[in-house]
């Protein structure tokens, strides 16, 4: 009897865990569209949205919201970058035991860099120039590659020995004799 109750509780816990994952995916999928829900075009907020002072805090003396023309544009841009960042982070955590996993840190770090630029209004600074981002990409990629290949020799050797024959073609060339018709 107790065993059955414990199994039922474990099953409910697993169902709840999967349900929370599904809800999280739905919420994350809606991030790029939240600006349509919480702001009204041409004005500020609907009456049901609480005013926490975020817009005033992010608005500079020239009237720009973190460098954007409106709060709506800021929210859209920020959430679209956050959406991409969370997707890369999720992929990184899901890619356990994959050889490419450390290299997912490149888009994770670059998307985080872009989010920081947006939040701190550095979009018009030199930190947002294409050459800075290219250099940052090359540096991060190089450091990850050096770290990966020098610290994982044993794992790489085992992996390539295990999959040694997977790169070779095992098909035999078949010759077909043509019959004269």
Tokens of 159: 């992996």
CA 150/CA 71 separation, integer angstroms: 47
Give the other-Cβ count within 10 Å of 128's Cβ. Answer: 15
Find out whether 102 and 148 touch, Cβ atoms under 8 Å.
yes
Distance of CA 115 to the CA centre of its chain: 12
CA 147/CA 134 separation, integer angstroms: 20
Question: Would the pLDDT of 178 be above 90?
Answer: no
Find out whether 73 and 118 touch, Cβ atoms under 8 Å.
no
Sequence spans of domains, the chain: 32-161
Any alpha helices (H) in the chain, and if so which ranges?
Answer: 2-29, 34-38, 54-58, 71-94, 105-119, 130-151, 153-162
pLDDT of residue 24: 85
Lowest mean pLDDT among 32-36, 70-74, 115-119: 32-36
- Give residues with Cβ within 8 angstroms of 101, minimum separation 6: 92, 95
Q: Where does the pLDDT of residue 116 fall: very low under 50, low under 70, confident under 90, or very high at 90 and above? A: very high
Task: Convert the pLDDT of each residue in 130-176 to its tens digit.
Answer: 999 999 999 999 998 888 888 777 777 776 667 666 555 555 555 55
Best CA proximity match to 118, nearest among 180, 56, 175, 74: 74
User: Can you name the residues that pair with 12 across neighbouring β-strands?
Assistant: none
Task: Convert the pLDDT of each residue in 58-75 to its tens digit.
Answer: 888 888 888 888 888 888
pTM: 0.69
- Give residues with Cβ within 8 angstroms of 123, minimum separation 6: 67, 117
What percent of the chain has pLDDT above 90?
27
């Amino acid at each position: 009897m107790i065993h059955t109750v414990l199994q039922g509780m474990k099953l409910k816990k697993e169902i709840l865990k999967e349900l929370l994952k599904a809800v999280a995916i739905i919420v994350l999928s809606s991030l790029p569209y939240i600006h349509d829900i919480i702001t009204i075009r041409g004005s500020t907020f609907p009456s049901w949205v609480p005013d926490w002072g975020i817009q005033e805090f992010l608005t500079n003396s020239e009237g720009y919201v973190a460098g954007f023309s409106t709060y709506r544009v800021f929210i859209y841009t920020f959430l679209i970058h956050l959406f991409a960042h969370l997707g890369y982070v999720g992929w990184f955590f899901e890619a356990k035991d994959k050889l490419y996993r450390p290299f997912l840190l490149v888009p994770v770090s670059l998307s985080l860099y872009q989010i920081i630029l947006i939040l701190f209004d550095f979009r018009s600074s030199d930190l947002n120039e294409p050459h800075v981002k290219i250099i940052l990409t090359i540096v991060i990629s190089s450091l990850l590659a050096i770290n990966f290949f020098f610290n994982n020799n044993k794992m790489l050797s085992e992996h390539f020995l295990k999959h040694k024959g997977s790169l070779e073609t095992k098909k035999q060339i078949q010759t077909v004799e043509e019959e004269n018709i």
